[in-house]
Structure 1
Amino acid sequence: MSTYKLVCPHCQNRMRIRTSEGQHIFLRITYMQCTNEACGWAVRAEFQMTHELSPSGMPNPAVRLPVADVVLRRQAMKSADDQPDLLDQLDMECAQ
């Protein structure tokens, strides 16, 4: 499993999240700062869940996101190109 590293666009050093607050089940506002003291750039960012890439094994009826199209799902699977796409298989089964 990989972790996402946020990089300062000014000095290319790592950013850290100073604080965050939930606005909605799918939206989190964060306040971030560059870890390079000489740079010190600070920013407000929004992290939003926009599309479902695969269904949950424990679905919550309150969670409703649009299902990502095949292009988005393939982008998410860049490192696993040989792995079949579950939603493509479900689409084909439903069509039969």
Structure 2
Amino acid sequence: MSTYKLVCAHCRGRMRIRTSEGTHIFLRVAYVQCTNEACGWSVRAEFEMTHEMSPSGMPNPSVRLPVASVVMRRQAMKTADDQPDLLDQMEMECAK
């Protein structure tokens, strides 16, 4: 299950990936739709792998991405204030 949160720029509702296709080993094109029926905004999005945050335990010599800087790795470790972490999500589900 994906924990990546896509938010509609118009109504701030949740968005879902309807379909996607790989165009390159590091690039995926996705077609995304707002789940709020009153809004219904849909977009084309691109998800690109740009930097290696940590090395693979099973490296493929043909896979070459630049290694992320220390600043970029530290930024990736921060959590967004508006997105609960996994334990918070589990607690909210149990409370229902």
TM range (shorter): 0.7 to 0.9
Q: RMSD of aligned C-alpha atoms? A: 1.2
Correspondence for 1:45: 45
Which string of whole-angstrom CA distances, capped at 9 and with x for unpartnered residues, describes residues 3-50 of structure 1?
111010100111011110000000000000000111000000000000
Correspondence for 1:23: 23
2:71 counterpart of 1:74: no
Unpaired stretches in structure 1, ≥5 consecutive residues: 80-96
TM-score, normalisation: structure 1: 0.78
> Given residue 57 of structure 2, which amino acid in structure 1 is its aligned partner?
G
Correspondence for 1:64: 64
Matched residue pairs, number? 78
- Partners of 2:56 and 2:76 in 1: CA distance: 16
SS in 2 for 1:17: strand
- Partners of 1:78 and 1:7 in 2: CA distance: 19
Unpaired stretches in structure 2, ≥5 consecutive residues: 80-96
Correspondence for 2:88: none
Identity of aligned residues (%): 82
Runs of 4+ residues over 4 Å off in structure 1 = none
> Given residue 72 of structure 2, which amino acid in structure 1 is its aligned partner?
L
Which string of whole-angstrom CA distances, capped at 9 and with x for unpartnered residues, describes residues 54-81 of structure 1?
00011011110000111101111225xx
